Amino acid sequence: MRIQNYIAGEFTDPISAQWLDNYNPSEGVVYGQIPNSNQADVEAAYKAAERAFPGWSRSALEERSRILSEISRGIQERLDALATAEAKDNGKPLTLAKQIDIPRAAANFQFFANAATQFSSESHETVGRNAVNFTLRKPIGVVGCISPWNLPLYLFTWKIAPALAAGNCVVAKPSEVTPMTAYLLGEICNEAGLPKGVLNIVHGLGSTAGQAIISHPNIKAISFTGGTATGAHIARTAAPMFKKLSLELGGKNPNIIFADADYDKMLATTLRSSFANQGQICLCGSRIFVEASIYERFKTDFIAKVKELKVGDPFSDTSNLGALVSEEHRNKVLSYVALAGQESGMKLLTGGNKVVVKGKEGGYYMEPTVIEVTSNKCTLNQEEIFGPVVTLMPFTSEEEVLEMANDVPYGLSATLWTSNLSRTMRMSQYLQAGIIWVNTWLLRDLRTPFGGMKASGVGREGGLEALRFFTEPKNVCIQYDE
């Protein structure tokens, strides 16, 4: 099956007539082709967006909001088809796509449909100078949204919905590894009555189609989620052109467990925060630090639970983990596991192997893996692996664990397990992370600022932060006569 670009409300072949193979990672077979778009396709998408901008940016907020709600409804109505497409394209369990990915994509549109009507701007009275300032927040124009493969429709819509809500027109590119649900979104947008050209979806490689978006002189803002190296490249390209940038990059998040935590809740949640989506979520807690007094107990119980996890066909209800997204990615993850046998101070506690699933022998499966480490400085604790691999290490004091938690290039999220309120407050002050979860994980309120510090990126998504990112503030100062 061939999918097409979505430009000016129409489905079109790539201008070059070049195509890329699309793999089903749970079987390891090519099941379709996607446009290998280049600069000419991006230019066509840009032109469509530019034409649509005057109408969309001046449309009544209620109308904009209504259309975004309709898109949300269209996603909900196609829950089964979209979840099936996502599981096939990405390798994730169908149950996960049904419970998390697709409902969240619908929620993204509904949230920003509402937010569009609630967004306000500031006014400042300059007392004593007979002046009043008011700030207009104008849509930027044509903006670029580039998303990764781990949560395909979820992250694609997380960028597009606020960009549209703020009145921009969009040129978007999903990951070439998981393009299918983005393709299906085009049809939903047409049915919802989104005017032609307001959203344009171009498929293709990062180095060509993506590159054409980030280096386009008139695409004035880029919202990107993906790897840190790509983020740095985008910053190098876009910064001299003075584009606005929102970069949500990698993570190497600490999961800090104190002895006074609710043990059962912690254990169950830690299993999820380690291996949900095969560990391919930037928020996964891949460095587990456990207070020494409960370390052995935790290690025994955790490993027992990990061994019970079933790796298998994403379409089976009993699979806890599906396939990794690609062979290349699985090889990368396995190369990190191999370090456990090479570097000193590391011990493989469970997992580490490829899994062959009956009837799906070509799929990219691997075991959930736990590695005990003795230093936070080791490669496994410093580099983002982005797979079903976590490390385990004991600590004895709050100061020690805080230092280790912060001693990484990344600063996306942190999870803290404790019943001590003062400790929660102290640690929250000093943890270098944009998102801190205490006694929970991945509990999301879409109004909150979302993003990281250090090598995890710049800017924040979510709620009003996203609407501020996708608008240009313009202050008007009026002085009046006495």
Sign for the CA dihedral angle at 413, 339, 24, 6 comes to positive
Is residue 173 within a helix (H) or strand (E), and if so which, with residue range? strand 169-173
Q: How far is the CB of 216 from ligand TXE (least distance, A)?
A: 11
Instruction: Write the secondary structure of 253-307 as one string of H (helix), E (strand) and C (coil).
Output: CEEEECCCCCHHHHHHHHHHHHHHHHHCCCCCCCEEEEEHHHHHHHHHHHHHHHH
466 contacts 162 by C-beta, under 8 angstroms: yes
- Minimum CB distance to ligand TXE smaller for 84 or for 211: 211
- For 361, the 3-state DSSP assignment is strand
Residues that bind ligand TXE (CB under 6 A): 146-150, 173, 175-176, 206-207, 210-211, 214, 225-227, 230, 233-234, 248-250, 282, 384, 386
- Minimum CB distance to ligand TXE smaller for 283 or for 378: 283
Q: How far is the CB of 248 from ligand TXE (least distance, A)?
A: 5
Q: In this chain, which residue has its C-beta nearest to ligand TXE? A: 206
Q: How far is the CB of 345 from ligand TXE (least distance, A)?
A: 23
Q: How far is the CB of 250 from ligand TXE (least distance, A)?
A: 5
Look at residues 318, 323, 360 and name the one whose alpha carbon lies nearest to residue 95.
318
The question of whether 282 is a catalytic residue gets the answer: yes
* DSSP state at residue 309: P
Q: Kindly report the CA angle at 223 between 108 and 45, in degrees rounded to 5?
A: 95
Task: Count other Cβ atoms within 10 Å, centred on residue 319.
Answer: 23
In angstroms, what CA-CA distances link 352 with 64, 274, 340, 355, 451?
A: 49, 14, 9, 9, 30
Q: Could you give the dihedral angle defined by the CA atoms of residues 47, 53, 55 and 56, in that order, rounded to the nearest 10 degrees?
A: 130
Which of 27, 70, 176, 248 is catalytic? The answer is 248
Is residue 158 within a helix (H) or strand (E), and if so which, with residue range? helix 152-165
- Minimum CB distance to ligand TXE smaller for 302 or for 386: 386
Cα separation, 142 vs 164, whole angstroms: 10
Look at residues 66, 6, 58, 48 and name the one whose alpha carbon lies nearest to residue 167.
58
Q: How far is the CB of 359 from ligand TXE (least distance, A)?
A: 28
- Minimum CB distance to ligand TXE smaller for 197 or for 434: 434
- Minimum CB distance to ligand TXE smaller for 184 or for 290: 184
- Minimum CB distance to ligand TXE smaller for 251 or for 368: 251
Q: How far is the CB of 121 from ligand TXE (least distance, A)?
A: 30
Q: How far is the CB of 385 from ligand TXE (least distance, A)?
A: 7
Q: How far is the CB of 117 from ligand TXE (least distance, A)?
A: 30
* DSSP state at residue 345: T
The question of whether 284 is a catalytic residue gets the answer: no
- Minimum CB distance to ligand TXE smaller for 383 or for 398: 383
* Chain position carrying tokens 């344009």: 200
Give the strand pairing for 471-479 and 10-12: unpaired
Cα separation, 281 vs 415, whole angstroms: 14
- Minimum CB distance to ligand TXE smaller for 74 or for 152: 152
* Chain position carrying tokens 């003795």: 374
Residue 51's identity, in one-letter code, is: R
Active site members? 248, 282
